[in-house]
Amino acid sequence: MPAAFEIRNLTKHYKDVTAVDNLSLDIFEGECFGLLGPNGAGKTTLVKMLTTTSPLTNGTIHVMGMDLQKEPRQIKAFYGVVPQGDNLDPELSVIENLTTFARYFEIPGEAAKNRANEALSLFKLEHKAQGKIKNLSGGMKRRLLLARALINNPLIIILDEPTVGLDPQSKYLVWQKLKELKSRGVTLLLTTQNMDEAAVLSDRVAIMHQGKILALDTPKGLVEKHVGNRVVEILPEEQCRGELLAELNKRGYEFEEVESIFQVFHSETDTLCADLGKLGFNVWQRLGTLEDVFIKLTGRGLVE
C-alpha cells in the first residue's frame, strides 16, 4: 500500500527540550491513522512539522512521494487541516470564512461558493451560512473548521483534537462524516486524547510519549498485546491486600494497583474470578480497552 507520509529519523529540538525524538513512521494512503499521547508527548509538534508551520531539526518527511522541505507549496495543496484551536475570522460571516479561505487554493468564485455550501450542508450548518462567527456555539465552530478543511477537496486531512468540547450529538456527527471521507479514499491523520474516538475511527494507532512511539498496531491488536481482551479487577479489603498480592504473584500474572483496585492482564479470566471469589474477594471482569493500553504504556501521573 502506498504511503501518504514517509517520516524518517524526524527530530525537533526546542533549545534543550527534545519534542520529537528520531521518529520514523509510515502512514498509508486511505487509512485513518490515530496518534495518541499525553500532554507534551510531541503530537502537536509533529503536526506542526507536517503542516510546515515548524521547521525540522533533523530527518525527512515525504508526502505522496514529495519532499516536504523542497516542495511545501505543492504538498500543502493536498491538505485539509483542522487545528486544535479556533482560528476562524470573526469579522466574516460563516460562508465568507469558507469562500475567503478558498482563495488560498485559487478556487474561482462560483466554484468556491458551491463548495462552501456543500461543506456547510455536510456538517449541518447551512442555516448559519450568513451568520456571524461570534453567534456560533463552540460545537458549531468545530464543525465549521471541519467544513473549511474540505474546501480544496484534500487528499489528506490532518485533525488535531477534532471533537474537543463537542456534545455527544455533534461528536457522533463528526465521526460519521470522517468515516464517509475515509470511504472515499481520503487519508486521515487524527491526533486525540479520546480513546473511544481513536478506537472507533482508526485503522492503526500509535501511542506517543516523550517524543517517541511506544507502540503501533490496530486498536484491537494493541489491546490484545498489552492487556488482553478481558481485564480482571479486584477490590480487596485492606487486611486482605497482602494475601491477594501473594496469590497473584504465585500465579505469575501481570497486574497493576489503581486506587486500591487491582487490575490483572492476560489472565485466564473465568478461572481467576472463580478462584478469587471462593477466597472471598470482590472480583469482576470487563473488556480490555485502548485506554488500558494508553495508561499502562504512558503511566498514570498527570502530565502538565
**Per-residue pLDDT reduced to its tens digit, 98-127:** 999 999 999 999 999 999 999 999 999 999
Q: Are strands 254-258 and 261-265 parallel, antiparallel or unpaired?
A: antiparallel
Of the listed ranges 157-161, 164-168, 191-195, the least confidently predicted one is: 164-168
In the sheet with 204-209, reading across from the earlier edge strand, the strands are 79-82, 156-160, 187-192, 32-36, 204-209, 212-217
Closest by alpha carbon to 99, among 113, 79, 80, 117?
Answer: 113
**Cα 304 to Cα 301: distance, rounded to the nearest angstrom:** 10
Mean pLDDT of 137-144: 91
What pTM was computed for the model?
A: 0.91
User: Are 287 and 245 within 8 A, CB to CB?
Assistant: no
% of the chain with per-residue pLDDT over 70? 98
Q: Are strands 58-63 and 3-14 parallel, antiparallel or unpaired?
A: antiparallel
User: Are 211 and 217 within 8 A, CB to CB?
Assistant: no
Of the listed ranges 28-37, 55-64, 167-176, 276-285, the least confidently predicted one is: 167-176
**What distance, in Å, lies between the first and last C-alpha atoms of the chain?**
38
Mapped onto helix, strand or coil, the DSSP state of residue 132 is strand
Kindly tell me if the per-residue pLDDT of 302 is higher than 60: no
Kindly tell me if the per-residue pLDDT of 78 is higher than 70: yes
Domains of the chain: 3-223 (3.40.50.300), 230-287 (3.30.70)
Residue 258 banded pLDDT, cuts 50, 70, 90: confident
Kindly tell me if the per-residue pLDDT of 304 is higher than 70: no
Q: Which one of 81-90, 132-141, 158-167, 211-220 scores highest in mean pLDDT?
A: 211-220
Ramachandran category for residue 158: left, alpha or beta (phi over 0 → left; psi -120 to 50 → alpha): beta
Span 266-296, pLDDT tens digits = 999 999 999 999 999 999 999 999 999 998 9
Residue 300 banded pLDDT, cuts 50, 70, 90: low
pLDDT of residue 299: 78
Residue 303 banded pLDDT, cuts 50, 70, 90: very low
**Cα 53 to Cα 44: distance, rounded to the nearest angstrom:** 11
Mean pLDDT of 245-249: 94
Residue type, 294: F
Residue 40 banded pLDDT, cuts 50, 70, 90: confident
Sequence-separated (6 or more) residues with CB below 8 Å from residue 73: none
Q: What is the largest CA-CA distance in the chain?
A: 75
**Phi/psi at 170 (nearest 5 deg)?**
-65, -40
All three cell numbers of 2: 502506498
Query: For cell 474561482, what's the residue?
Result: 108
